[in-house]
A = this chain, B = another copy of it.
């Protein structure tokens, strides 16, 4: 069996480009005892992958130059020498960007394919959903009537955070980078949505949060965060989940020091990575699936088609091209 692969060709300086990706093909042997051959169906592209392209130590190990890039993948078993994973079984796992993958089954989770579209197990019912679930409910803990601000609100995680905050009875304000995304957020039930590219951000946020901000779920960082810091209420909670505005910076980003503002409001800020919650994964999936089945949570995806379009879909994240989860449909 011959498979296409996508390797990390070189580490990016600043914004990644197509030059970082190298396609090649590899011959895979037939599965040995205990192994399965997987056919890739859907590939997840996520902002955190930018961090793994750098050599610097971060919360996940760097990708190796010359090796396949890896991430969330939904795949189907097409040949099996493993009784636990029969042909036809759909699984989700952290897998290489390949059309076909040989696996010993370790780390593969069967997908309940009757409950939702397969791609949702990379979004609403996958890592982004769990990121929103634990990051908001465990760290921010919004109470009914409190004000929650979400940056990157139309992204894969942000759109779920906002819906979860509404389920908790909070007032929800989202920031996003286009009028289309703002309209989408309002349709999704956000109380206020702000286009950070066109609004006077500090004034717009202050107007949208007349009672101040109790919870801030940050996917973006930078100027949006600066504006939120000025509106924090006493005992505010901040989930620091992503900093996409700075991921491609080639110099250390500089800004107003936040410590004085966090001090005088007794704010708690927590750097958050969903991998710290692996032991509670089943609890989160169960609750998210329940809310989804009840119609309380919606998924939203921007789907690109074709294995060869994976790099373009990834690069599109940094241009704000996706609303909801960015997914590549491979087969």
* Cβ 8 A contact of A225, one of B246, B259, B269, B273: B259
Most buried by B among A58, A234, A255, A276: A255
* Cβ 8 A contact of A271, one of B51, B59, B246, B263: B263
CB-CB contacts below 8 Å: A232-258 with B: 234, 240-243, 246, 252-258
A268→B265 contact, CB < 8 A? no
A115 within 8 A of B: no
Q: How far is the CA of A262 from the CA of B243 in the complex (A)?
A: 11
- The secondary structure that dominates the A interface is mixed
**For chain A, which range describes its interface: under 10, 10 to 19, 20 to 34, or 35 or more residues?**
35 or more
Q: How far is the CA of A262 from the CA of B242 in the complex (A)?
A: 11
Q: How far is the CA of A59 from the CA of B235 in the complex (A)?
A: 11
Q: Shortest distance in angstroms between A8's beta carbon and chain B's nearest beta carbon?
A: 19
Q: A232's closest neighbor in chain B, by CB? A: B271
A262→B271 contact, CB < 8 A? yes
Q: How far is the CA of A258 from the CA of B222 in the complex (A)?
A: 10
Q: Given A254-B254, A254-B257, A256-B254, do A263 and B242 touch, yes or no (CB 8 Å)? A: yes
Q: Shortest distance in angstroms between A34's beta carbon and chain B's nearest beta carbon?
A: 34
A272→B276 contact, CB < 8 A? no
Q: Shortest distance in angstroms between A312's beta carbon and chain B's nearest beta carbon?
A: 26
Interface string of A251-287 (1 = CB under 8 A from B): 0111111111011111111111100100000000000
Q: Given A254-B254, A254-B256, A254-B257, do A273 and B266 touch, yes or no (CB 8 Å)? A: yes
Q: How far is the CA of A218 from the CA of B271 in the complex (A)?
A: 18
A221 within 8 A of B: yes
A253→B256 contact, CB < 8 A? yes
| Residues from chain B with Cβ under 8 Å of A269 in the complex | 262, 268-270
Q: Shortest distance in angstroms between A158's beta carbon and chain B's nearest beta carbon?
A: 16
| Residues from chain B with Cβ under 8 Å of A243 in the complex | 259-260, 263
A258→B258 contact, CB < 8 A? yes
